[in-house]
């Protein structure tokens, strides 16, 4: 339903929230007309979670890069083929239009808006007031390698959490098995059955996640990131990035800075 009290006054930031009502709202001509008019008066427009469906239905994301909650990204891409959907991003800025993933990603988006207006120091103070992490870069993946492995009922979540704090060290199957109080052979077999991947693959996923966060969110030298994440050799990390993301670290850093 069209909101009451709409005026012709300029709007600084139009934010479209997600939630259960987005399905009906994105099919309501009156609502979409309102969103178009409001966006035309706004300095910038943003959405949180499935609010991107409303922006897309209003035609505001055509030809733009956008994201939404990962669980609805495939549906979003099918429904709006004119949108360049990037399903694993925390938030995306494309010109004056911003979109974000789930509810907590809306906090990251809000902090990014503050930083854009008032600078990083103001955004940092806001994050401190909210007692939240300052702040996940927009290019960071929605998916956590730790959550992927540490599923409900998993026997190895504590082992993977322990490993994530020691990525710069050598994390052999033998060492992980010792942490799990199991023989290496039994541990390797049980780990695959429990998580669907080998211990080596799980460790590589953790290293890639941490390295990508630093590559995209900092100016730290690539060589230092390779050491911190446990790749040690920058060329080894480059090959891992190419396998996982299709781009080397330097290209991903340049791409993140353009967002």
Active site residue 49: yes
Q: Which two tokens stand for residue 102?
A: 């789930």
> In degrees, to the nearest 5, what angle opens at C-alpha 247 toward C-alphas 242 and 248?
80
Residue 66: CA atoms inside 13 Å, Cβ hemisphere, count? 34
* Phi, psi dihedral angles at 53 (to 5 degrees): -60, -40
Burial status of residue 157 (CB atoms within 10 A of its CB: 0-12, 13-18, 19 or more): middle
Cα dihedral sign, 17-19-25-26: positive
**Sheet of 97-100: strands edge to edge?**
11-16, 42-47, 97-100, 91-94
Active-site pick, 16, 48, 49, 215:
49
Query: What end-to-end distance do the CA atoms of the chain give, in Å?
Result: 33
* Catalytic (active-site) positions: 49
């Amino acid at each position: 339903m069209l909101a009451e009290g709409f005026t012709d006054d300029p709007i600084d930031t139009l934010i479209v929230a997600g939630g259960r009502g987005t399905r009906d709202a994105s099919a309501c001509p009156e609502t979409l007309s309102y969103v178009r008019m409001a966006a035309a008066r706004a300095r910038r427009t943003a959405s949180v979670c499935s609010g991107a469906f409303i922006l897309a239905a209003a035609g505001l994301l055509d030809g733009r890069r956008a994201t939404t909650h990962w669980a609805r990204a495939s549906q979003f891409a099918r429904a709006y083929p004119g949108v360049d959907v990037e399903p694993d991003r925390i938030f995306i800025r494309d010109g004056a239009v911003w979109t974000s993933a789930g509810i907590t990603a809306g906090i990251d988006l809000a902090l990014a808006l503050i930083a854009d207006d008032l600078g990083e120091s103001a955004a940092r103070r806001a994050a401190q007031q909210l007692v939240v992490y300052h702040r996940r870069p927009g290019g960071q993946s929605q998916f956590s390698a730790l959550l992927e492995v540490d599923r409900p009922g998993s026997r190895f979540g504590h082992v993977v959490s322990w490993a994530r704090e020691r990525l710069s060290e050598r994390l052999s199957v033998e060492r992980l098995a010792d942490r799990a109080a199991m023989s290496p052979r039994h541990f390797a077999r049980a780990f695959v059955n429990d998580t669907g991947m080998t211990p080596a693959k799980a460790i590589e996923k953790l290293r890639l996640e941490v390295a990508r966060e630093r590559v995209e969110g900092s100016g730290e030298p690539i060589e230092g990131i390779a050491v911190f994440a446990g790749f040690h050799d920058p060329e080894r990390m480059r090959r891992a990035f190419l396998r996982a993301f299709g781009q080397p670290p330097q290209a991903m850093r340049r791409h993140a800075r353009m967002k």
